[in-house]
Chain A
Amino acid sequence: MIRYLARRVAVMPLLLLGTASMVFVVSRATSGNPLVSIVGARNLNNPVIVAAAKQRWGLDRSLPVQYGRFMINLLRGDLGTSFSTRRPVLRDLWDRLPATLELTIAALVLGSAVGILLGVLAARHRNRALDHGARAVGLLGSSLPAFWLGMLLLYLLYSRLGWVQGPNRLNARVRPPTRLTGFFTVDSLLHGQWSLLWQACMHLVLPATVLAWGVVGIVSRLVRASLLEELSSEYVRVARAMGLRERTVVATHALRNALLPTITIVAFAFAYLITNAVLVEKVFSWPGVGSYAVEAARQLDYPAVAGVTLLGGLAFLLTNLVSDIAYTMADPRIQLS
């Protein structure tokens, strides 16, 4: 087990270096000029400024040299400096990562919980109204574009009804809690700042819901299918024949087995959430990695684009690793070697 994990972790840097190379190629192959955002459109005709900027950012070198520098810096743990924020990309990411993690983790927990609940209800009321209802809820979330859903809910629940707070992580001009984890909810809780905690939650709930809704469908469908399969299995019949309550049969016997495949889908769900967080952060002015990524891509901010992509890749690899470990621990039949 330990050796298997060690091997998995050992190949991660290689995969990330591969990803980095691909990002380099793709970003350089994209038509468009990063100088527009570096020097501004007005100065593009000024050869002195352009030459200075090119030299400053190393864009005057040949592509192979640029690539070599990029990779060497990367190996040293240096992601370079963003063209647009003029700050080290690593710093930018470090500042913005907690916002994104707080959002995606909240969405993952919410999406999985609602998905599992709907899946169980659908399975137990198979082909009846509740089943169809659950299917409709899931389908709605996975077919409506996240930004559209985001704007709709923002309009309804915030502008019209005022049930929740609007964009951003906190109200305007409110000081965030001192950073411990960077999660405003957790930090305000740890500092005992209750009104701040409430405010952070009311800001978080809408974007998290929009994001979570996208995975409810796939999670609930999977839980429903695998629970139905488990409920028709022989050991469930044996458990019933032993006189176990139906509730116990479902909760302790069948659901445990039915959730095994769900563990793997959660890793995919997380990848989906990270991707969609880009759009949702934009809609909700959420100061996370997602909105940073949008700006980086728009301005062809090469170092920032590479940084964001590598972070996404790392998140994906780690999620898969965690889900594999979780699966192994949950299923006694599996022995990794």
Chain B
Amino acid sequence: MTTVTTTAPAPGSSAGEQPVLTIDDVHVTFRGEHHGDPGIPAVRGVSLQVAAGEALAVVGESGSGKSATMLAVLGLHGHATVRGSVRFDGRELLGSPESVLRTVRGAGIAMIFQDPMTSLNPVLTVGRQLAMAMHAHQPGLSRQAAQQRAVELLERVAIPQARRRCEAYPHELSGGMRQRVIIAMAIANRPRVLIADEPTTALDVTVQAQIVELLGELRRDEGLALILVTHDLGVVAGAADRVAVMYAGTVVEHGPVDAFFAAPGHPYGRGLLGCLARLDRDAEPVPIGGHPVSPRQLPPGCSFAPRCPLAEPSCDDHPPSLRPWGATVVACDVVTRAAGSSMVAS
């Protein structure tokens, strides 16, 4: 198995602020079905961090290991081996017992998932599910207090007629409403970090914008550290401070959103931006050809090499590490070697 070592520190948050969550060189390998099967190396040395009130976007094609990384943070993997380090508030989470993880889940770090249609229990009312989320961390909370707080939470996420909606079953709500309910559940115990794994993918475009706006609002008002996982760069622009681009289980580019949008460094990042036909630029959209590489059959060197327009023979020698490139870090030896040369301007 190949590992990518980080030689340059990933760009941190705004000067000097302590990250509340630090993901450090995390590896996730899904166990093989039978003996001798090496398993699927879905995440290979990912390092990320967020500080309070900061938003980090994690982008990449589907299958690039975004969800696997986030599930590892909360120890929610069933059949995977996880290595590395995840520190929340200075405390190591990886390898911690269930009892410790349980107190962090929901109360320290909350997570919401892609599909609001299946994320709620179909046979329990919205109010009941909110109350259950609260009782997980506040066992002494009275019924009335939980109910009261449930209404407040639904109002907080802008659900009209909140009191009545508490009695509703999930199937009586639209997809957007359900995602709001899930966000309400996620903030019910005032977590400090919110991981939103493709929260808008399953929603209508107009609703998508509203949900992203709501998440941004919560981040500002409650000082949440937000990790916004998406495969849609369009969502990232207004919603995040920093962006990390993942490919085949590694971070291939990481830096401030502005810098990334102004001049992406990694050929894959450039391709992604090219896909996003931007109105304020004359450049032709450059779609990325080929298919995402399977984590079962990784190339020996740079895993993007089979699809890379800049690939050189040396790219197959060893996996590139993240190196500084302008305001960002980029895992592409060809680009970082040529830093400052004419290539950058393209």
Chain B binds chain A: yes
| Inter-subunit contact A242/B106 (CB<8 Å) | yes
Interface-lining segment among A33-41, A43-51, A233-241: A233-241
Known contacts A240-B105, A241-B106, A242-B186; is-contact A234 B118 (Cβ 8 Å)? yes
B104 to chain A: closest CB distance in Å?
7
**Residue interface bits B278-316, CB-to-A below 8 A is 1, else 0:** 000000000000000000000000000000000000000
A252 to chain B: closest CB distance in Å?
7
The one of B119, B121, B136, B171 that contacts A243, using a Cβ cutoff of 8 Å? B136
**With an 8 A cutoff between CB atoms, is B338 at the interface?**
no
Which residues in B have their C-beta under 8 angstroms from that of A244?
106, 132-133, 136
Known contacts A241-B74, A256-B123, A333-B171; is-contact A234 B110 (Cβ 8 Å)? no
Which residues in A have their C-beta under 8 angstroms from that of B123?
256-257, 260, 330-333
| Inter-subunit contact B121/A241 (CB<8 Å) | no
Q: Give the nearest-CB partner of B172 in chain A.
A: A332
| Inter-subunit contact B136/A242 (CB<8 Å) | yes
**With an 8 A cutoff between CB atoms, is A248 at the interface?**
yes
Q: A97–B120 Cα gap in the complex (Å)?
A: 45
Q: A253–B121 Cα gap in the complex (Å)?
A: 7
A31 to chain B: closest CB distance in Å?
54
| Inter-subunit contact A243/B104 (CB<8 Å) | yes
| Inter-subunit contact A253/B124 (CB<8 Å) | yes
**Residue interface bits A222-257, CB-to-B below 8 A is 1, else 0:** 000000000001110111111111101000110011
Q: A253–B128 Cα gap in the complex (Å)?
A: 11
Q: Give the nearest-CB partner of A331 in chain B.
A: B123
**With an 8 A cutoff between CB atoms, is B14 at the interface?**
no
The one of B106, B113, B137 that contacts A234, using a Cβ cutoff of 8 Å? B113
| Inter-subunit contact B132/A243 (CB<8 Å) | no
Chain A residues engaging chain B, CB cutoff 8 angstroms? 233-235, 237-246, 248, 252-253, 256-257, 260, 330-333
Known contacts A240-B105, A242-B110; is-contact A257 B121 (Cβ 8 Å)? yes
Chain B residues engaging chain A, CB cutoff 8 angstroms? 74, 76, 98, 102-107, 110-113, 115, 118-124, 132-133, 136-137, 169, 171, 182, 185-186, 188-189
Given contacts A241-B76, A242-B186, A244-B106, 5 further A-B contacts (CB under 8 A): A245-B102, A248-B132, A252-B132, A256-B123, A330-B123
Q: Give the nearest-CB partner of B134 in chain A.
A: A242
Which residues in B have their C-beta under 8 angstroms from that of A243?
102-107, 133, 136-137, 189
B139 to chain A: closest CB distance in Å?
10
Q: A214–B188 Cα gap in the complex (Å)?
A: 47
Which residues in A have their C-beta under 8 angstroms from that of B115?
234
A298 to chain B: closest CB distance in Å?
49
Which residues in A have their C-beta under 8 angstroms from that of B76?
237, 240-241
* Shortest 6 CB-CB contacts between residues of A and residues of B: A243-B106, A243-B105, A234-B118, A242-B106, A332-B169, A241-B111
Which residues in A have their C-beta under 8 angstroms from that of B118?
233-235
Which residues in B have their C-beta under 8 angstroms from that of A246?
98
Which residues in B have their C-beta under 8 angstroms from that of A333?
122-123, 169, 171
Q: A248–B107 Cα gap in the complex (Å)?
A: 17
Which residues in B have their C-beta under 8 angstroms from that of A248?
132, 136
Query: Which of A241, A330, A332 has most chain B Cβ within 10 Å?
Result: A241
A288 to chain B: closest CB distance in Å?
37
B301 to chain A: closest CB distance in Å?
35
Q: A233–B106 Cα gap in the complex (Å)?
A: 18
A124 to chain B: closest CB distance in Å?
13
A156 to chain B: closest CB distance in Å?
43
| Inter-subunit contact B113/A242 (CB<8 Å) | no
Q: Give the nearest-CB partner of A333 in chain B.
A: B171
Q: Give the nearest-CB partner of A236 in chain B.
A: B121
B82 to chain A: closest CB distance in Å?
16
A194 to chain B: closest CB distance in Å?
39
Q: Give the nearest-CB partner of B118 in chain A.
A: A234
Q: A239–B76 Cα gap in the complex (Å)?
A: 11
A257 to chain B: closest CB distance in Å?
6
Which residues in A have their C-beta under 8 angstroms from that of B110?
241-242
| Inter-subunit contact B136/A238 (CB<8 Å) | no
CB<8 Å pairs between A and B, sample of 23? A234-B119, A235-B119, A235-B120, A235-B122, A238-B120, A239-B121, A241-B110, A242-B106, A242-B110, A242-B133, A242-B185, A242-B186, A243-B104, A243-B106, A244-B132, A246-B98, A252-B132, A256-B124, A257-B123, A260-B123, A331-B123, A332-B169, A333-B123
B134 to chain A: closest CB distance in Å?
9
Which residues in B have their C-beta under 8 angstroms from that of A242?
105-106, 110, 132-133, 136, 185-186, 188-189
B243 to chain A: closest CB distance in Å?
24
A126 to chain B: closest CB distance in Å?
11
Which residues in A have their C-beta under 8 angstroms from that of B136?
242-245, 248
Q: A260–B121 Cα gap in the complex (Å)?
A: 13
The one of A237, A245, A253, A331 that contacts B113, using a Cβ cutoff of 8 Å? A237
A310 to chain B: closest CB distance in Å?
37
